[in-house]
Amino acid sequence: MKMSNLYAPTLKEDPAEAELASHRLMLRAGMIRKQAAGLYSYLPLAWRSLRKIEDIVRDEMDAAGGQELLMPIMVDAQVWRESGRYNVYGPELMRISDRHEREFVLGPTHEETVTDLIKNELKSYKQLPVNLYQIQDKFRDEMRPRFGLMRGREFIMKDGYSFNATQESLQETYDDMKQAYANICERCGLKALPVVADSGQIGGDTSVEFMALADAGEAALVYCDACGYAADDEAASTQVAVTEGPGDGTLQKVHTPGLTTIKEVAEFFEFPENGTRKALALIDVEGNPVVAIVPGDHELNDCKAEHLFGEGFHLMTDEELEQYGLCKGFIGPVNLPEGIRLVCDVTLRDSKQWACGANEVDYHFTGACPGRDFEPDAWEDLITVVAGDPCPHCGAPLAGARGIEVSQVFQLGPKYSEAMGATFADENGEEKPFLMGCYGVGVSRTLAASVEQHHDENGIIWPVSIAPYEVSIMPLDPTIPECAEVCDRLTAELCEAGIEVIVDDRDIRPGVKFADNDLMGFPYQIVLGKRGLKNGTVELKDRATGEREDVAIDEVASKVADLVISQRR
Ligand code: ATP
Ligand code: MG
């Protein structure tokens, strides 16, 4: 390929609308262009990389027993009504009507479509399991499409669905998919963690998200280097870490005038914040008052609180605090007014000496002891885990990171098959709903995540496996016959070795060439300069390390070919 023919309109300046490195660099390198909010054209360089990601995905899916097919993007709304999702999916679902005013949706995901497809045709347990996948554009009318390919409205997804006869079989397919997904991340050069998104009743996980580690990620994670545990900070739990407050083991009431925040109370007692107790007064979804107690240095986790107190619980208003006899800033577990449920964070269970509000204006207790001074109605997991908390499995301190969700595997069970009446005959001839799994890879998001992980101030640094071209050749003065000759020869040798080469044959200043090639991120760059050619050498640059070395013209092609081939995955 010649750069003079390549359609890659580069930008010198950083585009104002791009906050993330991946968005900014892909615009600047002439890889993507916005059509409208969340709608992008993939220009030739991006498309080459995307096809490589797709091929890696295909390869892994096929190896794990998947079969590729292609379903329509536009789907009859009727099947979404059958599953019950038409009314609950929300405004992300693109709803359209045809000329006969029949309703359709643009598929944001295809559980309904695929279940409708196999229904009445996949009939017997003998045909199972079946694992079908497609690579296709998806539509989600995202509230805030942003960050370029990271959160688009139209984006490329690999979506796969398995139909299994038994839970054991579903588990097997799910485990295979999980492994395939780990392989996909690895082969695309992504550093990613499998994060448990949801732990099922059957024990073990029923959903895992693969999170590419990146500061720009929307998800906050904690993970354990010692044992491999990783979780979304919303879902993470921690081990009991006993934190004691000040005192001599007896209950003491202390005058703390005007000290209503954890910080003030901790400073007053000259004690770390985790020795204090934070009390949150709330009204659960049934309207009952609850006081939740957490360690002073942790927050009540919204997601966990919703599970315990119902979706729609709320913190008490000033009027409600007054109505239930609670003193704002001085709430605690001891002497709690009658009728208020007391729920304490489970990490505090073994702690015998709490500094906490005294349920009296301007007073706190120290040395409050559960079982002696008060009796919680329940011990529950209430807090948002933070970096430094002990790992729930092995106790080592958890590290914090941010992540981009690039893919997810999910055990759906009979949710869709039951709703849509998709059944098979089991060994005893009994009709049963299929057990399903669904498995999604964000193909275009994976491209963006890769740029987030692989770039520097000069541009993108593609891993060889998904680079649009593996090697670029830069004849600095293509008008010199000898330079052109060496360029043609190296191109031919590299092509012969099966290497993807782009030649920057443009008649422009060397500085601009260097900058563009770095911006576009080709992993290896061969520079043909006047002086080197005289000595029979060219300069070989490794984009990732920035290292340059002079290599003999006769040797450079085989050297680069070896380097590239060893890094293909
Ligand atoms: P998110 O929480 O980021 O909105 P999701 O969990 O709703 O994603 P899934 O339904 O699990 O997404 O879709 C499978 C994969 O598709 C995701 O793991 C992600 O990589 C990708 N994806 C989802 N939404 C978008 C989007 N708006 N733009 C680009 N990729 C997306
Ligand atoms: Mg997801």
The CB of 140 under 6 Å from ligand 1? The reply is yes
User: Which residues are close to ligand 2, an ion, with C-beta < 5 A?
Assistant: 408
222 inside domain: yes
**Which residues lie below 8 Å from residue 337, measured CB to CB, with a gap of 6+?**
324, 325, 326, 359
Q: At 362, which CATH number?
A: 3.90.960.10
Residues 91 and 145 in one domain: yes
Residues 256 and 165 in one domain: no
15 inside domain: no
Which pLDDT value is given to residue 236? 84
391 inside domain: no
* Residue that terminates a domain, selected from 324, 359, 384: 384
> For residue 157, which atom of ligand 1 is closest to its CA?
16
462 inside domain: no
Domain count, the chain: 3
Nearest C-alpha to atom 11 of ligand 1 is from which residue? 408
CA distances to 87, 132, 161, 169, 296 from 126, rounded to whole Å, are 35, 17, 18, 12, 58
Please state, as a whole number, how many other Cβ atoms lie within 10 Å of the Cβ of residue 379.
15
The preferred substitution site among 34, 138, 405 for testing ligand 1, maximizing ligand atoms within 8 Å of CB, is: 405
Task: Render pLDDT for 188-198 as a digit per residue (tens, 0 to 9).
Answer: 999 999 998 76
Residues 212 and 342 in one domain: no
Ligand at shortest distance from the CA of 442: 1
497 inside domain: yes
Which pLDDT value is given to residue 442? 98
Q: For each successive 10 residues of the chain (569 residues), what is the average pLDDT?
A: 97 92 98 97 98 98 98 98 94 97 98 97 97 98 95 98 98 98 97 81 78 94 91 80 84 95 94 93 97 95 92 96 96 96 95 95 96 96 92 92 96 96 97 98 98 98 98 92 95 98 95 97 97 95 97 97 94
Task: Render pLDDT for 406-461 as a digit per residue (tens, 0 to 9).
Answer: 999 999 999 999 999 999 999 999 999 999 999 999 999 999 999 999 999 999 99
323 inside domain: yes
Nearest C-alpha to atom 22 of ligand 1 is from which residue? 442
Beta strands in 224-362 (DSSP E): 230-232, 252-255, 277-283, 289-295, 314-315, 341-345, 354-357
The CB of 157 under 6 Å from ligand 1? The reply is yes
The Cα–Cα gap between 362 and 357 comes to: 9
The CB of 22 under 6 Å from ligand 1? The reply is no
**Within 13 Å and on the Cβ side, how many CA atoms surround 222?**
20
Residues 349 and 427 in one domain: no
Contact in structure between 434 and 4 (CB atoms under 8 Å): no
Which pLDDT value is given to residue 238? 84
The Cα–Cα gap between 128 and 123 comes to: 9
The CB of 207 under 6 Å from ligand 1? The reply is no
**Overall residue count recorded for the chain in this entry:** 569
Q: Parallel, antiparallel, or unpaired: how do β-strands 524-528 and 471-475 relate?
A: parallel
Which pLDDT value is given to residue 449? 98
The CB of 28 under 6 Å from ligand 1? The reply is no
Nearest C-alpha to atom 4 of ligand 1 is from which residue? 151
The CB of 407 under 6 Å from ligand 1? The reply is yes
Which pLDDT value is given to residue 105? 98
Which pLDDT value is given to residue 64? 98
Ligand at shortest distance from the CA of 406: 1
User: What is the torsional sign of CA 219, 224, 229, 235?
Assistant: negative
Which pLDDT value is given to residue 196? 84
Which pLDDT value is given to residue 199? 59
Residues 446 and 534 in one domain: no
The Cα–Cα gap between 354 and 373 comes to: 10
Nearest C-alpha to atom 23 of ligand 1 is from which residue? 442
Which pLDDT value is given to residue 180? 98
> For residue 410, which atom of ligand 1 is closest to its CA?
11
208, with CB counted inside 10 A (0-12, 13-18, 19+), is buried
CA 436 / ligand 1 centre spacing (Å)? 19
Q: At 518, which CATH number?
A: 3.40.50.800
The CB of 309 under 6 Å from ligand 1? The reply is no
Which pLDDT value is given to residue 561? 98
CA 217 / ligand 2 centre spacing (Å)? 14
Query: Domain range spanning residue 311?
Result: 252-384
Residues 83 and 162 in one domain: yes
> Nearest CA to 368 among 352, 384, 380?
352
Nearest C-alpha to atom 26 of ligand 1 is from which residue? 151
Residues 306 and 227 in one domain: no
Nearest C-alpha to atom 13 of ligand 1 is from which residue? 440
> Nearest CA to 149 among 69, 53, 222?
53
Nearest C-alpha to atom 14 of ligand 1 is from which residue? 440
331 inside domain: yes
Residues 219 and 293 in one domain: no
Nearest C-alpha to atom 27 of ligand 1 is from which residue? 151
> Which residue type does 332 have?
G
The CB of 440 under 6 Å from ligand 1? The reply is yes
Residues 153 and 46 in one domain: yes
60 inside domain: yes
Residues 364 and 439 in one domain: no
Q: At 176, which CATH number?
A: 3.30.930.10
The CB of 142 under 6 Å from ligand 1? The reply is yes
Residues 415 and 534 in one domain: no
Ligand at shortest distance from the CA of 153: 1
Residues 56 and 172 in one domain: yes
> Nearest CA to 205 among 226, 178, 234?
178
The CB of 412 under 6 Å from ligand 1? The reply is no
The CB of 147 under 6 Å from ligand 1? The reply is no
